[in-house]
């Protein structure tokens, strides 16, 4: 009696190789060949299907015994199946260890002739394959895919906003025509009213200014008379002299802080468009594009939103944390905790700790030196720390001096010693330049600390507690020292051309790209600010302190 070789999986019948498609239908059939493209073992019937279906006719078949498998023969083979994107029909089955790339044998012959570490993937799979690497790559792909999906969604949202704005803009054109008919009747009255208002406003300011000068003149004349009258009374003359000195100093100081009028006029310039015929106008108004990527040129308004707790249960210091340095890494911020000898990484979106690592000694400054690494100053050495997945210590470079502030640009490190010198090194630790004084041999520093480059990387700003903001070019040539009644402790840039400075008066100051003061954006922090950093995309500012368990977080508008 003949028996059907097709059996249910419950059958005791076994084969060395079973057909993969049939097994998925709960049938057991013996495999005759292995299809490289489908990555499946195939029985006689499945092979026939390959020959009948045009899209499957070009597939490559191997004998079962020639396919190397991981473990039992029934498992999937350790044989590459991905076709080369450059050479049609060729399988990516070669690995170049020199360039750390996989390719087909044609690529190997064309692009890797001189490489000595070419090998067959199938023949060397046991020592090439690493489950950890595959898991890591899968995780990275997942993260990037999530980001790409999010960016795609964001793009769709922006496109919808653009479409909506077009409809709104076209309606605004029609509304403009209707409004223009009304506005033309009121323009004359409103223009006159505006002239009167501006005149009164400016007149009031000038009169107020004049009154202040008048009062000051009266005070000065009175002091002059008192001095003249006291010529025979030395004690009275001394008192009057000191009063005069104090008054003069106060007036000079006040006037230096004020903007004075050097011109005052009210003008009206007729609109040439209105003077000409409406029919000669090309448009009813101006069409403009609003872009969030434009540099911020106005003074920030900073609103404190929370105090971020940076103390951990693993912290060993009995005192408050000492967050002496900080820098933004993607959507996270890394803090250096000097007192607890830790680097701490916080997620900005959730305001929660996601990682930390211990360092040998108390860290000071920190800066990014690549996509996957930061450099940290630790007394007399530079410690490099990997930031790829978990924070982990890499190599370090010993220095002949103390290290505190640190910045990176164009494969160079710039370091201060919290004293009187600025150093420039290459990434191997070779000293390129030491700066202590200007061309006239005058000391440039007294107590330097944090440093940063502006967004264009053409000006280096060095905070000096006693001197002010000391400026250099990228080659560490001295430019100028900016002093505006501050003792700077921390400095950063915002990604829009502004320089942000923290000082010992618990203020946060916004400066232009050249470092000159534009205004105060935070008048009073809760402690002595010791570092400041800004996420330019989220427009969030993080202010850390010399001694505190919290970091103040601000929204910037």
Q: What is the DSSP string of 277-317?
A: -GGG-S-SS------TTSPP-SPP-EEEEEEEE---TT---
Alpha-carbon distance of 349 to 67, in angstroms, equals 50
Provide the edge-to-edge strand list for the sheet that holds 381-386. Answer: 366-370, 373-378, 381-386, 392-398
pLDDT at 12: 47
Which of 537, 538, 499 is closest to 521 using CA atoms? 499
Strand partners, 303: 555
Alpha-carbon distance of 218 to 231, in angstroms, equals 20
Q: How far apart are the first and last CA of the chain?
A: 88
CA dihedral 252, 257, 263, 264 (to 10 degrees): -110
- For domain 302-556, the question of CATH label 3.40.50.2300 is answered with no
pLDDT at 239: 87
pLDDT at 550: 95
pLDDT at 279: 63
Residue 14 is given by DSSP the state: -
Strand partners, 392: 386
pLDDT at 276: 65
As given in the structure block, the two tokens for residue 193 are 């009213």
Q: At what angle do helices 234-256 and 131-229 cross, to 10 degrees?
A: 140
Which of 155, 455, 450 is closest to 296 using CA atoms? 455
| pTM exceeds cut of 0.95 | no
Q: Give the list of residues 6+ apart from residue 548 with CB closer than 8 angstroms, or none.
A: 320, 321, 323, 526, 527
Alpha-carbon distance of 21 to 43, in angstroms, equals 9
As given in the structure block, the two tokens for residue 317 are 């210091």
pLDDT at 439: 93
Per-residue model confidence as pLDDT tens digits over 332-347: 999 999 999 999 999 9
Which of 349, 304, 300, 309 is closest to 553 using CA atoms? 304
Provide the edge-to-edge strand list for the sheet that holds 412-416. Answer: 406-409, 412-416, 422-426, 431-435
Alpha-carbon distance of 553 to 531, in angstroms, equals 12
Residue 259 is given by DSSP the state: P
Alpha-carbon distance of 136 to 144, in angstroms, equals 12
pLDDT per residue rounded down to tens, the chain (557 residues): 333 444 554 444 677 788 888 888 888 888 888 887 777 888 999 988 888 887 787 787 888 766 655 444 444 556 777 888 888 878 899 999 988 899 999 999 999 988 989 999 988 888 888 877 777 777 767 767 766 776 677 677 777 877 888 888 888 788 877 777 777 777 778 888 888 888 888 888 888 888 888 888 888 888 888 888 887 788 888 888 888 888 888 877 776 666 666 777 888 877 766 666 666 666 666 777 664 544 445 788 899 999 999 999 999 999 999 999 999 998 999 999 999 999 999 999 888 899 999 999 999 999 999 888 999 999 999 999 999 889 999 999 999 999 999 999 999 999 999 999 999 999 999 999 999 999 999 999 999 999 999 988 999 999 999 999 999 999 999 999 998 788 899 999 998 889 999 998 899 999 988 899 989 999 999 899 999 999 988 889 999 999 999 999 999 98
3-state secondary structure at position 196:
helix
Strand partners, 509: 501, 520
pLDDT at 411: 94
Which of 434, 431, 394, 395 is closest to 412 using CA atoms? 431
Identify how many contiguous H helices and E strands the chain contains and give both numbers: 7, 32
Place of tokens 């402790």: 489
Could you give the C-alpha distances from 463 to 136, 276, 402, 551, in angstroms and in order? 41, 57, 16, 21
As given in the structure block, the two tokens for residue 38 are 């489908």
Per-residue H/E/C for 341-366: CEEEEEECCCCEEEEEEECCCCCCCE
Could you give the C-alpha distances from 131 to 126, 138, 145, in angstroms and in order? 11, 10, 21
pLDDT at 284: 65
| 332 close to 537: Cβ distance less than 8 angstroms | no
pLDDT at 372: 87
Pairing state between β 448-453 and 431-435: unpaired
3-state secondary structure at position 104:
coil
């Amino acid at each position: 009696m003949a028996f059907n070789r097709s059996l249910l999986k419950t059958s005791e019948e076994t084969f060395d190789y079973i057909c993969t498609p049939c097994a998925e239908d709960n049938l057991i059939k013996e495999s005759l060949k292995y299809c490289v493209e489908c990555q499946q073992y195939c029985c006689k019937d499945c092979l026939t299907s390959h020959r009948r279906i045009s899209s499957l006719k070009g597939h490559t078949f191997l004998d079962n015994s020639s396919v190397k498998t991981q473990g039992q023969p029934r498992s999937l083979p350790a044989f590459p199946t991905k076709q080369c994107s450059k050479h049609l029909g060729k399988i990516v089955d070669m690995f170049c260890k020199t360039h750390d790339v996989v390719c087909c044998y044609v690529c190997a012959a064309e692009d890797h002739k001189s490489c000595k570490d070419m090998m067959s993937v199938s023949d060397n799979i046991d020592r090439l394959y690493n489950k950890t690497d595959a898991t890591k790559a899968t995780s990275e792909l997942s993260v990037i895919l999530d980001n790409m999906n999010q960016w795609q969604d964001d793009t769709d949202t922006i496109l919808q906003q653009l479409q909506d704005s077009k409809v709104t803009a076209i309606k605004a054109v029609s509304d403009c025509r209707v409004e223009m008919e009304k506005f033309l009747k009121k323009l004359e009255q409103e223009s006159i009213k505006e002239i009167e208002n501006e005149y009164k406003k400016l007149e009031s300011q000038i009169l107020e200014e004049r009154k202040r000068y008048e009062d000051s003149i009266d005070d000065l004349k009175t002091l002059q008379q008192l001095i003249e009258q006291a010529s025979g009374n030395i004690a009275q003359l001394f008192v009057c002299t000191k009063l005069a000195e104090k008054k003069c100093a106060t007036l000079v100081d006040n006037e230096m802080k004020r903007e004075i009028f050097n011109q005052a006029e009210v003008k009206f310039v007729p609109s040439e468009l209105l003077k000409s015929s409406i029919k000669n106008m090309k448009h009813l108004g101006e069409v403009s594009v609003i872009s969030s990527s434009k540099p911020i040129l106005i003074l920030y308004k900073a609103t404190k939103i929370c105090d971020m707790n940076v103390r951990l249960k693993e912290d060993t210091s009995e005192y408050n944390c000492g967050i002496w340095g900080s820098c933004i890494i993607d959507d996270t911020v890394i803090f250096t905790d000097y007192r607890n000898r830790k680097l701490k990484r916080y997620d900005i979106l959730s305001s929660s700790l996601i990682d930390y690592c211990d360092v040998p000694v108390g860290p000071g400054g920190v800066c990014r030196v690549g996509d996957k690494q930061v450099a940290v100053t630790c007394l007399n050495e530079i410690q490099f720390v990997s930031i790829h997945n978990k924070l982990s210590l890499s190599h370090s470079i010993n220095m002949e001096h103390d290290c505190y502030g640190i910045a990176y640009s164009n494969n160079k490190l710039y370091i201060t010693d919290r004293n009187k010198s600025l150093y420039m090194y290459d990434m191997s630790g070779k000293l390129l330049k030491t700066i202590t004084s200007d061309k006239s041999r005058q000391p440039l520093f007294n107590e330097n600390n944090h440093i940063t480059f502006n967004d264009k990387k053409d000006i280096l700003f060095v905070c000096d507690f006693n001197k002010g903001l000391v400026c250099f070019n990228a080659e560490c040539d001295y430019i100028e020292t900016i002093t505006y009644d501050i003792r700077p402790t921390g400095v950063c840039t915002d990604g829009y051309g502004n320089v942000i400075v923290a000082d010992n008066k618990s203020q946060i100051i916004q400066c232009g790209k050249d470092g000159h003061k534009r205004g105060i954006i935070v008048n009073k922090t809760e402690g002595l600010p010791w570092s400041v950093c800004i996420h330019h995309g989220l427009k969030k500012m993080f202010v850390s302190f010399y001694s505190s368990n919290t970091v103040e977080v601000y929204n910037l508008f």
